[in-house]
């Protein structure tokens, strides 16, 4: 079955930039939508500094400063959503509406957190919605430059398989990533999302709480980290996800396998940007409560992160 050969990446930060470059390297026609990085990438190209020491710089042929200026006649079948999670319905719809056209077959969600696929399926019922959960240690530390620290896999999971055509879409996406030499696995959506939350909630949360990198959190806050992972594992299982017994050991071992780095949430905080809270730290406890499982540690962490966001907002109001 033929892989998709044309995509548009909305939100080309660390995740969108890295994975978009892998697709470009494999021959896929990739249209990148940058926002704050647009001028830098237009002038200097997109640079990926890989974990093996190699550096790739490409002057991209198709870049845009906003979804609004992407030509509607491109007939792009795959829209990759790689922005930060967007809680507001109107903002999410406005972000994607210009690029989801009659030619769009699938919206591929490369955001963190849980729940966005259901919202997108309601907004755009005419297209398939598939999660491409990114397993990537990378940071965008300057405009147009992505530092890759390790891994780079994708877990594909469909929001629903309504028709045979949706199954074909999933198979074609798997082939697209495989041709790009991106390790890819198809799994059930709930399992894919909760397994990733087992990393996102503890590491993204504690790195922001203590303003420390991944290695410092492991070394200095290990017990708290492990308690959080255990809580997410319990909640994920209560919600029906398949999470292995040794998930805590797997997560810590994986994180120790690449150099210390700052998750994007901490980088955002340091740059005076708001932390993603709703889909990563608030939505999981809400879902878990429906299955009679509480997440008190996650909820307490969410409150601390909300306080950090309030400080960011106050800082902006003084400017």
Beta strand 145-158 with 128-142 is antiparallel
Residue 86 has pLDDT above 80, yes or no: no
Residue 66 has pLDDT above 70, yes or no: yes
CATH 1.20.1070.10 is held by the domain 191-314 = no
Lowest pLDDT segment from 84-93, 159-168, 199-208: 159-168
The answer to whether 109 touches 81, Cβ cutoff 8 Å, is yes
Residue 198 has pLDDT above 80, yes or no: yes
Give the H/E segment covering residue 128. Answer: strand 128-142
Residue 227 has pLDDT above 90, yes or no: yes
Give pLDDT, residue 90. 76
pLDDT-based confidence at 76, cuts 50/70/90? very high
Give pLDDT, residue 84. 86
Give pLDDT, residue 314. 82
Residue in 135, 285, 281, 116 with CA at minimum distance from that of residue 196: 135
Rounded to the nearest integer, the mean pLDDT of the chain is 94
Mean predicted confidence (pLDDT) in 49-73? 96
The dotted CATH code for 6-187 is: 3.40.50.720
Lowest pLDDT segment from 1-15, 75-89, 133-147, 252-266: 75-89
pTM exceeds 0.75 for this model: yes
* DSSP conformation class of 258: S
Residue 293 has pLDDT above 70, yes or no: yes
d(CA 133, CA 285): 20
| Dihedrals phi, psi of 264, to nearest 5 degrees | -60, -30
3-class DSSP state of 163: coil
**Inter-helix orientation angle 222-238/189-199, to 10°:** 170
Please report the sign of the dihedral spanned by the C-alpha atoms of residue 13, residue 14, residue 18, residue 23. Answer: negative
Residue in 4, 181, 54, 55 with CA at minimum distance from that of residue 46: 55
d(CA 5, CA 153): 19
For 119-166, what is each residue's pLDDT tens digit? 999 999 999 999 999 999 999 989 999 999 999 999 999 986 555 556
Give pLDDT, residue 91. 86
The answer to whether 14 touches 57, Cβ cutoff 8 Å, is no
For 104-123, what is each residue's pLDDT tens digit? 999 999 999 999 999 999 99
In the chain, domain spans: 6-187, 191-314
């Amino acid at each position: 079955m033929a892989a998709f050969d044309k995509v548009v990446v909305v939100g080309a930060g660390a995740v969108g930039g890295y994975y978009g470059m892998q697709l470009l390297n494999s021959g896929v026609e990739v249209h990148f939508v940058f926002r704050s990085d647009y001028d830098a990438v237009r002038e200097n190209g997109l640079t990926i500094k890989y974990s093996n020491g190699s550096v790739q710089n490409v002057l991209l042929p198709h870049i845009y400063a906003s979804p609004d200026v992407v030509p509607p006649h491109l007939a792009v079948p795959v829209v990759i959503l790689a922005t930060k999670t967007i809680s507001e319905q109107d903002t999410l719809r406005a972000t994607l509406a210009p690029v989801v056209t009659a030619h769009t077959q699938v919206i591929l969600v490369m955001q963190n957190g849980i729940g966005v696929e259901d919202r997108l399926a309601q907004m755009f019922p005419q297209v398939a919605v598939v999660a491409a959960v990114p397993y990537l240690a990378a940071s965008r530390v300057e405009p147009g430059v992505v530092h890759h620290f390790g891994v780079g896999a994708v877990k594909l999971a469909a929001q629903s398989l309504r028709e045979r055509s949706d199954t074909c879409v999933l198979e074609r996406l798997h082939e697209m990533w495989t041709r790009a030499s991106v390790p890819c696995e198809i799994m059930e959506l709930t399992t894919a999302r909760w397994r990733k939350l087992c990393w996102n909630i503890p590491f993204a949360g504690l790195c922001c709480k203590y303003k420390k990198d991944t290695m410092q959190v492991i070394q200095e806050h290990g017990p708290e980290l492990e308690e959080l992972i255990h809580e997410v594992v319990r909640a994920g299982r209560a919600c029906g996800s398949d999470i292995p017994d040794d998930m805590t050991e797997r997560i810590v071992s994986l994180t120790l396998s690449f150099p210390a780095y700052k998750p994007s949430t901490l980088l955002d905080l340091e740059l005076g940007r708001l932390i993603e809270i709703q889909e990563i730290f608030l939505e999981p406890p809400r879902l878990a409560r429906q299955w009679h499982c509480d997440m008190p540690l996650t909820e307490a962490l969410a409150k601390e992160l909300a306080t950090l966001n309030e400080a960011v907002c106050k800082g902006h109001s003084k400017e």
